Amino acid sequence: MSKVLLLVLVVFYSGFPSKGISSVSTRPRAVNIGAILSFNSTIGRVAKVAIQAAVDDINSNATILNGTKLKISMLDTKLSAGFLGIIDSFLLMERETVAIIGPQYSVMAHVISHIANEMQVPLLSFAATDPTLTSLQFPYFVRTTQSDLYQMAAVAEIVDHFQWRDVIALYVDDDHGRNGIAALADKLAEKRCKISYKVPFKPDNIIREEINSALVKVALMESKVIIIHMYTSSGLEVLHQAAQSLGMMGSGYVWIATDWLSTVLDSDPSLSTSQTMNDIQGIITLRMHTPESDVKRKFISRWDKLSRKENSNQDPFGLNIFGFYAYDTVWVLASALDSFFKDGGTLSFSNDSSLNILRRDTLNLDTMGVFVNGGMLRQKVLEVNRTGLTGQMVFNPDGNLVHPSYEIINVIGTGIRRIGYWSETSGLHTGEDPNRYNSSDGLYGVIWPGQTVFSSNGRNLRIGVPLRISYREFVSRIEGTEMFGGYCIDVFTAALNLLPYPVPYMFIPFGDGKTNPLNSDLLHMITIGAFDAVVGDITITTNRTKIVDFTQPYIESGLVVVAPIKKLKSSAWAFLSPFSPMMWFVTGMFFLVVGAVVWILERRVNDDFRGPARRQFVTIIWFSFSTLFFAQREKTVSTLGRLVLIIWLFVVLILNSSYIASLTSILTVEQLSSPVKGIESLVISNDRIGFLRGSFAENYLTEELNIHRSRLVPLNSPSEYEKALKDGPANGGVTAIIDERAYMELFLATRCEYSIVGQEFTKMGWGFAFPRDSPLAIDMSTAILKLSENGDLQRIHDKWLTRSACSSEGAKQGIDRLELKSFWGLFLLSGIACFIALLCYVARMAYRFSRHSNTNLDHSSQSSRLRSFLSFVNEREEEVKYRPKRRRKEKCSCRKVVHEGGSLDDSTVSVHIENNATAQD
């Protein structure tokens, strides 16, 4: 390439005496323009479509050039940044080209600018950003994009913003890279910063070993702030090696990439889902700013169709910033040509006799002509003032666009986030208009590689803290200082200390100090970028999670009902309180039932259960209730009776223990009473309810529980709570207060005449708030869990929220009576035992009755058999055993009488037997 360049320069410097001049009419039918691009590059393939679209739009509108058509010749340099571009420029000069759009690479622009100077052909480049191109050496070079001089000024201001003193520069070692880094060094010097180490890379064909070798040296440097100014392919490879091989994308490193990175992110939609995104997390990059407009939005909507038309066999590609500038470049040239023709300019070309020595060359360089009015066209280009896709296109005398501005972008997750702007007039700021100084200085919070967080002022994370006037145990400013203390503050600082990386921060009070600030307003400050986080008593609700991210809750605090209470006085009948009336009734019935069952089972074999009817009734009653104290005197001798009694005594033991425990509690623990039983009783009543002003409780009560808003009374402080409860609804006060448990426990700590009634009816918690998708929220959640596991969270709670003696007296609301449902299993067990015992006893008696009964009963009636069975059951066991012997003796006696005195009839024998039996009894 150097030999060809030398040859060209020798020819040009020998002069170009004219052999003749060819010219065309003032308004020709067509004008030849050229474009030198690399069609397969990230910028070139987008620019090719944009340039062709601009030519088509201009040619389709006859009013722009008054019928003159633009005839574009686009030549592909095949990714070459040197020789092929020179050849293409020669080819364009042979075609009497009046202007060249491009070239795309700064290296090529340096060479072709020499040719453009000699041929007096304006060179309009939309992508060559080398600052040295706009020098007196290249008068025909016009930059229709923004110079790297301004981009490096923005980078230097970012470095100074975060107060870094030295940086490391990685760059491609060609005109583009060297001159860009030289401009950066100058701008850093103005900020009293410096480049401590430079790492050049080959422009092309860079190998992995060279990258690793260079990055190893970088990793050993003291500075961890790295500026990377390269081309797309080599830049991504360097970042990949830094991330995957050397771990240089972790915490502690800062990477700032120039606009090459934003260009590839905009151009390749598939990049967001590829592994490459993992390699560039946390990097800051820059992108030339173009204001929003209708023409820009319309062109963006056309882009998909345009790109598919040009590359029907390939996947569609995104529209990057250089595509906008390429489109506007054609329009700038069209506007300049129109003004050129209006002022009488003609397309005249003169042949140069000095090129005759190259006549036999296949390039036909002797056919190249000098554009006679090229200087006039160049001046018309510099005088253009129009609004395009990229905004106002106005040039300064050096051929650079005025009012340069850049967007500062942070790569996060699968996308990018704008964290601010830089402009030549306003510097770094976070407003919506880069060129107007009407917004805050600095940047929004930056997430660096390794998820290290710095705030927008470059030094500290801005933490919003509510300036409370009540419940200062949670958050309060320490008197006479700018420091804050309290439960929430201690939890936050303890969690920060557990993070694996340092997070500098500062607390910023929010509120007027006269009323408690609204939490919704405090969270809104995060969404507008005023705060980087909020620490305080912030309840996590569904609506709030839609605008910010919360950490893991560090305290549970659902809504509760607080109402006045009265102490219940002990009565003479307090001993009846442990059991409910139904419990007393069932227990008494079972005493009688068990006594009767034991009497039945013991009557035949136990003399203690025999005797006159009155005595037996008293025995049943006494035996039943004496088991309550295990003091029964009667012994049980039957197996079934002992089984029933043993199960019943177990039941009595449980009943007795439960009764004693409940009665002890009733007589020793103070009992409280309140007309309000909980949230359910409040919902169905019409009583007035108090709540904390600004709390989410208001919306919850009206929207979820359908309580009419007229019943709700907003209150501001614990003293207002107390006064409203004392006054009551009859005197303009409230029946109850609804607030979060954490507040109410502090409120009740010194106010024993009030208490929480009913159950907590919401399950919520407090958390620290961060911007959406903040990695710090995740890390802080992990830290809070660690605090909970190691016990520090409880220790902090005890330090600030320890209950006083009033709230820990153990007072009990109402009387907790023992219900039948708690003991029905025991009663069922005893009942089954009684039933089975009776069933076995009846079966046994029926069997024995059938064996010992008289055979004459077989012919008797059913009533007679029943009477005989009951009589049999009522007899003692001994009588039944010896009855067969007596019957045999009686029969023998009858036979003897008959033998001695003659025959006896049946009636006489029967009477005789009965008389004998009576005598024996």
**How do residues 245-260 score in pLDDT, each as one tens digit?**
888 888 778 999 999 9
Q: For residues 454 and 341, which has the higher predicted lDDT (pLDDT)?
A: 341
Q: For residues 44 and 613, which has the higher predicted lDDT (pLDDT)?
A: 44
When pLDDT is averaged across residues 776-797 and rounded to a whole number, the result is 90
The pLDDT of residue 921: 40
Distance in angstroms (rounded) separating the CA atoms of residues 119 and 98: 10
C-alpha separations of 734 from 564, 690, 723, 738, 749 in Å: 10, 6, 9, 10, 20
Going by C-alpha positions, the residue among 464, 594, 578, 479 that lies closest to residue 522 is 464
Least confident of 60-74, 288-302, 765-779: 765-779
Q: Is the pLDDT of residue 464 over 60?
A: yes
**How do residues 555-582 score in pLDDT, each as one tens digit?**
998 899 998 887 655 566 666 667 777 8
The pLDDT of residue 446: 85
Q: How confident is the model at residue 334 (pLDDT cuts 50, 70, 90)?
A: very high
**Residue given tokens 């200062």 in the structure block:** 472
Contact between residue 644 and residue 837 where contact means Cβ atoms under 8 Å apart? yes
Contact between residue 43 and residue 127 where contact means Cβ atoms under 8 Å apart? yes
The pLDDT of residue 51: 95
Q: How confident is the model at residue 22 (pLDDT cuts 50, 70, 90)?
A: very low
Question: Quick one: which H or E segment has residue 545?
Answer: helix 542-545
Distance in angstroms (rounded) separating the CA atoms of residues 255 and 248: 9
Q: How confident is the model at residue 323 (pLDDT cuts 50, 70, 90)?
A: very high
Q: Is the pLDDT of residue 902 over 50?
A: no
When pLDDT is averaged across residues 774-792 and rounded to a whole number, the result is 88
When pLDDT is averaged across residues 120-145 and rounded to a whole number, the result is 92
Query: Which residues does 393 contact at the CB level (< 8 Å), separation at least 6?
Result: 144, 328, 331, 332, 384, 385, 386, 387, 401
Going by C-alpha positions, the residue among 839, 354, 904, 767 that lies closest to residue 601 is 839
Question: Quick check: helix, strand or coil at residue 43?
Answer: helix
Q: Is the pLDDT of residue 868 over 80?
A: no
The pLDDT of residue 809: 41
When pLDDT is averaged across residues 126-150 and rounded to a whole number, the result is 92
The pLDDT of residue 661: 78
The pLDDT of residue 4: 43
Other Cβ atoms within 10 Å of 217 Cβ, number = 11
Least confident of 190-199, 230-239, 614-623: 614-623
Q: Which residues pair with 839 in a beta bridge?
A: none
The pLDDT of residue 787: 94
The pLDDT of residue 315: 66
Q: How confident is the model at residue 908 (pLDDT cuts 50, 70, 90)?
A: very low
When pLDDT is averaged across residues 667-681 and rounded to a whole number, the result is 69
Contact between residue 767 and residue 552 where contact means Cβ atoms under 8 Å apart? yes
pLDDT, averaged across the chain: 80
**How do residues 681-719 score in pLDDT, each as one tens digit?**
888 888 899 998 878 888 889 988 899 989 999 998 889
Contact between residue 394 and residue 381 where contact means Cβ atoms under 8 Å apart? no
When pLDDT is averaged across residues 853-882 and rounded to a whole number, the result is 60
The pLDDT of residue 723: 92
First to last CA, the chain: 149
Least confident of 76-80, 184-188, 327-331: 76-80
Q: Is the pLDDT of residue 466 over 90?
A: yes
Contact between residue 682 and residue 729 where contact means Cβ atoms under 8 Å apart? no
When pLDDT is averaged across residues 408-435 and rounded to a whole number, the result is 85
Alpha helices in 162-205 (DSSP H): 175-190
The pLDDT of residue 574: 62
When pLDDT is averaged across residues 349-362 and rounded to a whole number, the result is 57
78 φ/ψ sector (left φ>0, alpha ψ -120 to 50, else beta)? left
Contact between residue 817 and residue 808 where contact means Cβ atoms under 8 Å apart? no
Least confident of 344-358, 506-520, 540-554, 870-884: 870-884
For residue 441, the 8-state DSSP code is: B
Each residue of 134-146: b (16+ CB within 10 Å) or e?
Answer: beeebbbbbbbbb
The pLDDT of residue 672: 56
Whole-number percent of the chain with pLDDT over 70: 78
For residue 763, the 8-state DSSP code is: -
Question: Quick one: which H or E segment has residue 591?
Answer: helix 581-602
Distance in angstroms (rounded) separating the CA atoms of residues 227 and 653: 84
Question: Quick check: helix, strand or coil at residue 465?
Answer: strand
555 token code pair: 């305290």
Distance in angstroms (rounded) separating the CA atoms of residues 323 and 287: 13
- Residue type present at position 833: A
When pLDDT is averaged across residues 58-66 and rounded to a whole number, the result is 91
When pLDDT is averaged across residues 41-64 and rounded to a whole number, the result is 92
The pLDDT of residue 910: 44
Distance in angstroms (rounded) separating the CA atoms of residues 862 and 827: 36
Q: How confident is the model at residue 125 (pLDDT cuts 50, 70, 90)?
A: very high
Sequence-ordered strand ranges (E) for 585-659: none
The pLDDT of residue 838: 82
Contact between residue 525 and residue 511 where contact means Cβ atoms under 8 Å apart? no
Question: Quick check: helix, strand or coil at residue 491?
Answer: helix
Q: How confident is the model at residue 917 (pLDDT cuts 50, 70, 90)?
A: very low
Q: Which residues pair with 75 in a beta bridge?
A: 36
The pLDDT of residue 665: 67
